[in-house]
Amino acid sequence: MKPDLTWLIDPGITLMVGLGLITTVSCREQGHKEAPHSSEKPNILFIAVDDLRPELGCYGNSVVSSPNIDRLAESGIVFKRAFCNVPVSGASRASLLTGTRPTNYRFLNFNTWVDKDYPGATTLPQHLRKNGYYTVSLSKVFHNEGDSNGAWDAEWRPSGTGTWRNYLTSSNLAIDTTISRGMPFERADVPDSSYYDGKTTMKAIRHIRKLSQSGQPFFLAVGFLKPHLPFNAPEKYWDIYDPELIGIASNPNPPEDAPPQAIHTWGELRQYYSIPEKGPLTDSAANTLRHGYYACVSYTDAQIGLLLDELEKTGLAENTIVVLWGDHGWNLGEHGLWCKHCNFNTSLNAPLIFKAPGIKGGKECNSITEFIDIYPTLCELTGLPLPDHLEGESLVKRLKKPGRKEKDYAVCKFNNGVTLIDETLFFTEWYNKRDSAIANMLYDHDSDPGENVNLSKDQDYSQLVTSLSKTLKEKRGPAFLTQLN
């Protein structure tokens, strides 16, 4: 077998496409009629998108095609300055779904289990279920299936031929299984329902139809796996884009004076076949990866559109809260970085959109928002009590008046680096095991939104750095140094 590596040279090349090897899931339920929901409690459609950065039409991006998320934004509130609390999947989800901050001892990596890291916390789905909600998890919501014991009435994940990387072409399946390093993307002429996310959508539609008849309020959590690597998407979503318009990152170099702790070697991407073990990508390779990422965003956007359509068709849209979030940002070549796993804005800023009954939509909120704020927001919107352990603040006031300035900071953590974000400043400090700062970086988004010049080494900023360091330790949470067990 000779893998096709021409994509490294010519971004316009189309890979060989094999016949779809996975049986497609068809959706043939017919004759469904509108049925108003009888419950007084609002339902919740909770959409988690893996590795989605806020490059969407409703976030002001003119290249990415996201008409369905934009449609949701027109009837909801777009949080422009929403930040994940940990820029890696499992930990971000565990933090969000417990409504608590990461610490030195919990929510550390992609493989986080809530039940191991914070067994005393009542998770959002556990809380809703205890209070009368029918809870469903489809595909990746928590990172690990079976986590958060007792959280779900129904839990399901898609499956198919091959590995979790979910290739459909014969050539890519062969690379993945014989070399154990899959290609970083796939462009295949297949129906949407061939890939896992299409199957998840069909499953979610069937659940919505059943739930519309149940009379019980529901929490339907749907996880989409794209645009997480590998960038596998049906060809028609690749065809939306002109590679020349996608280009490459405008700041492909590390920031001036950034400490070495700020930069990583994007090991997640280097695991893929055809990616060099060391050094930067060629411009054409970078362009193709960005093209694949955007194709996956548009593919996921189309699936989200089908869910929104189904809420309308079943009469559920009016009494259903819709929350859409990406679990963290992603670097597409900025600072020479790929993937997440860092403390730059590209890794921490992520999409968050809320649509709720009685909330006038089509507005933006520029107040700083953290993902730990989602849990208490849903409690307030559903009239449920707040569990004692929550560390976030409800966003309901901001939903009602998006211009309000409420919270004025966010704190995000990755490994031993912790970032304090305020109105314009992004300050990160790295700690040693004795909790002493060993490195830092500071960016002022007013003058440097791309974070290209670290100001923390500048003597003019030394007093500010001292002050921010003190504030960071105050804001990072009371449990930051508390060891579990």
- Is residue 51 a contact residue for Ca ion (CB under 5 A)? yes
Pick out residues in 428-457 that bind Ca ion (CB under 5 A).
none
- Nearer residue to Ca ion within complex by CB, 310 or 370: 370
Q: State the minimum distance, in angstroms, from the CB of residue 299 to Ca ion.
A: 16
Q: Compute how many residues bind Ca ion; rule: CB under 5 A.
A: 4
How many CB atoms are located within 10 Å of the residue 60 CB?
A: 11
User: Scanning the structure block, which residue is given the tokens 């459609």?
Assistant: 45
Interface segment toward Ca ion; rule CB under 5 A; list 85-93, 183-191, 300-308, 351-359: 85-93
User: Scanning the structure block, which residue is given the tokens 């014991």?
Assistant: 149
Measure the CA–CA gap between 32 and 118, rounded to whole angstroms: 42
Q: State the minimum distance, in angstroms, from the CB of residue 300 to Ca ion.
A: 13
Q: State the minimum distance, in angstroms, from the CB of residue 59 to Ca ion.
A: 18
- Nearer residue to Ca ion within complex by CB, 241 or 325: 325
**Residue 292 · residue 185 · CB < 8 Å:** yes
- Nearer residue to Ca ion within complex by CB, 77 or 86: 86
Q: State the minimum distance, in angstroms, from the CB of residue 109 to Ca ion.
A: 12
- Nearer residue to Ca ion within complex by CB, 48 or 421: 48
Give the residue at shortest CB distance from Ca ion: 89
Residue 374 has φ and ψ, to the nearest 5°, of -70, -45
- Is residue 268 a contact residue for Ca ion (CB under 5 A)? no
Contacts of 130 by beta carbon, 8 Å cutoff, 6+ apart: 122
Would you list the DSSP string of 157-224? Answer: ----SSSTT---SHHHHHHHHHTS---SEEEE---GGGSHHHHHHHHHHHHHHHHTTT-S-EEEEEEE
Q: State the minimum distance, in angstroms, from the CB of residue 327 to Ca ion.
A: 4
**Residue 255 · residue 336 · CB < 8 Å:** no
Interface segment toward Ca ion; rule CB under 5 A; list 89-97, 290-298, 425-433, 440-448: 89-97
- Nearer residue to Ca ion within complex by CB, 89 or 122: 89
Q: Is the previous residue joined to 217 through a cis bond, with omega within 30 degrees of 0?
A: no
Measure the CA–CA gap between 465 and 455, rounded to whole angstroms: 9
- Nearer residue to Ca ion within complex by CB, 50 or 155: 50
Pick out residues in 204-263 that bind Ca ion (CB under 5 A).
none
Phi-psi region of 361 (alpha: psi -120 to 50; beta: other; left: phi over 0): beta
Q: State the minimum distance, in angstroms, from the CB of residue 115 to Ca ion.
A: 20
- Nearer residue to Ca ion within complex by CB, 51 or 301: 51
Pick out residues in 319-378 that bind Ca ion (CB under 5 A).
327
- Nearer residue to Ca ion within complex by CB, 140 or 290: 140
**Residue 185 · residue 289 · CB < 8 Å:** yes
Measure the CA–CA gap between 207 and 204, rounded to whole angstroms: 5
User: Which among 326, 384, 380, 320 is positioned nearest to 356, based on CA atoms?
Assistant: 320
| β-strand partners of 353 | 78, 324
- Nearer residue to Ca ion within complex by CB, 89 or 347: 89
- Is residue 186 a contact residue for Ca ion (CB under 5 A)? no
Measure the CA–CA gap between 119 and 482, rounded to whole angstroms: 15
Measure the CA–CA gap between 224 and 228, rounded to whole angstroms: 9
Q: State the minimum distance, in angstroms, from the CB of residue 228 to Ca ion.
A: 6
Token pair of 255 as six digits? 């920031």
Q: State the minimum distance, in angstroms, from the CB of residue 235 to Ca ion.
A: 25
Q: State the minimum distance, in angstroms, from the CB of residue 88 to Ca ion.
A: 7
- Is residue 122 a contact residue for Ca ion (CB under 5 A)? no
- Nearer residue to Ca ion within complex by CB, 225 or 365: 225
Q: What distance lies between CA 13 and its chain's CA centroid?
A: 29
Token pair of 142 as six digits? 């928590």
**x/- string (CB under 5 A) for Ca ion, residues 14-33?**
--------------------
Residues in the chain: 485
- Is residue 50 a contact residue for Ca ion (CB under 5 A)? yes
Q: State the minimum distance, in angstroms, from the CB of residue 100 to Ca ion.
A: 19
User: Which among 441, 445, 434, 384 is positioned nearest to 135, based on CA atoms?
Assistant: 384
Q: State the minimum distance, in angstroms, from the CB of residue 251 to Ca ion.
A: 23
Q: Is the previous residue joined to 227 through a cis bond, with omega within 30 degrees of 0?
A: yes
Interface segment toward Ca ion; rule CB under 5 A; list 43-51, 96-104, 170-178, 462-470: 43-51
- Nearer residue to Ca ion within complex by CB, 89 or 201: 89
Single residue of 68, 85, 89, 314 touching Ca ion by CB under 5 A: 89
Interface segment toward Ca ion; rule CB under 5 A; list 5-13, 87-95, 139-147, 272-280: 87-95
Residues of the shown chain interacting with Ca ion in the complex, contacts defined by CB under 5 A: 50-51, 89, 327
